[in-house]
Structure 1
Amino acid sequence: MRPPRFWAAGADHSVARALGPLGAVYGALTARRMDRPGLRAGCPVLCLGNFTLGGAGKTPAAIAVAALLVELGRCPAFLSRGYGGRLAGPIRVDPNHHGAADVGDEPLLLARHAPTIVSRDRPAGAAQCRALGADVIVMDDGLQNPTLTKDLAWAVVDGGAGIGNGRPFPAGPLRAPLGRQWPHVAGLILVGDGAPGASVAESAERRGLPVHRARLVPDKIELAGRRFLAFAGIGRPEKFFATLRETAAVIVAERPFADHHPYGETELAALVAEADRLGAELVTTEKDAVRLPAAFAARVSVLRVRLVPNDPQALYGQIRQALSDSKAARFP
Structure 2
Amino acid sequence: MFERMILMIFSLLGILNGAFLSVIFRRKRFYFYMAGSWLLSFLSAGYFLWYARGYDGLGLWSLWLGYMACGIMVAEIVSLPCLFFLSLLSISKKLRKGSRVLSLAAICAAAVIGIYGSVDGNNREQVEHLDVYVEGLPPTFEGYKAAQMTDTHIGPYFRYTDLSGEIDRARREGAQVLFFTGDLIDDIRHMPDAGRTLTEEFYGFPDGIIYVWGNHEYYRGKDYIEEELLKTPVKMLVNEHTAITRNGASLYVAGVDYPWARGEAMKKEMDDMTDEAFRGIPKGAPVVLLAHHSAFLDEGFKKGAAITLTGHTHGTQFGLFGRPIITPFTYTRGLYSDGRNMGYVSRGDASWFPFRFSCPRELVIITFHRK
Question: Same fold per TM (> 0.5)?
Answer: no
Tell me the TM-score normalised to structure 2 length: 0.25
Larger radius of gyration: 2
Structure number having the greater helix percentage: 2
